[in-house]
Amino acid sequence: MAHYAQINDSNIVTQVLVMDNDMEENEGEQACVDWLVKNVGGTWVKTSYNHKIRKQYAGIGMTYNAAKDIFISPQPYPSWSLDENSDWQPPTPRPDDDQPYLWDEENQGWVETE
């Protein structure tokens, strides 16, 4: 199945629809996009369930970065920032001791959980 993400004027994914592979295989990706625009409306970008294109599979609330041609997850916490790979990173690295941790935004640190 072919998957397409609808993005709004702010490049936020608002829905993801599945298209029949036959249309894409026989007529091409643009034919699927054209069909979606005509029948559903809006702007559509292909996404890959197995992460083969555009970094990761699109989900509602994600952002499409047209300059990098990738989908970016929503920012998990206000203090986190995107790295050079467009992955969200905390201001302090997570401890690497195989213990379970949760991020504490108020105290800007990791809290060990049971």
Give yes or no for a contact between 65 and 12, defined as CB atoms under 8 angstroms apart. Answer: no
Same domain membership, residue 66 and residue 18? yes
Res 88 pLDDT > 90: yes
Residue 78 Cα distances to 10, 35, 57, 59, 69, angstroms: 19, 38, 23, 20, 24
Reported confidence tier of residue 59, pLDDT bands at 50, 70, 90: very high
Q: Return the pLDDT at 57.
A: 95
Same domain, 60 and 9: yes
pLDDT at 5: 97
- CA-to-CA separations, 53 to 10, 57, 68, 76, in angstroms, rounded: 21, 8, 11, 23
Report d(CA 16, CA 66) in Å as an integer. Answer: 17
Are residues 15 and 58 both part of a single domain? yes
Residues 68, 100 within the same domain: no
Domains: count for the chain: 2
Residue 21's pLDDT is: 77
Q: State the Cα–Cα distance between residues 46 and 89, nearest whole angstrom.
A: 26
- Residue 24 clears pLDDT 80, i.e. is over it: no
- Give the range of the structural domain holding residue 99, as residue numbers without chain letter: 75-114
102 pLDDT above the threshold of 80: yes
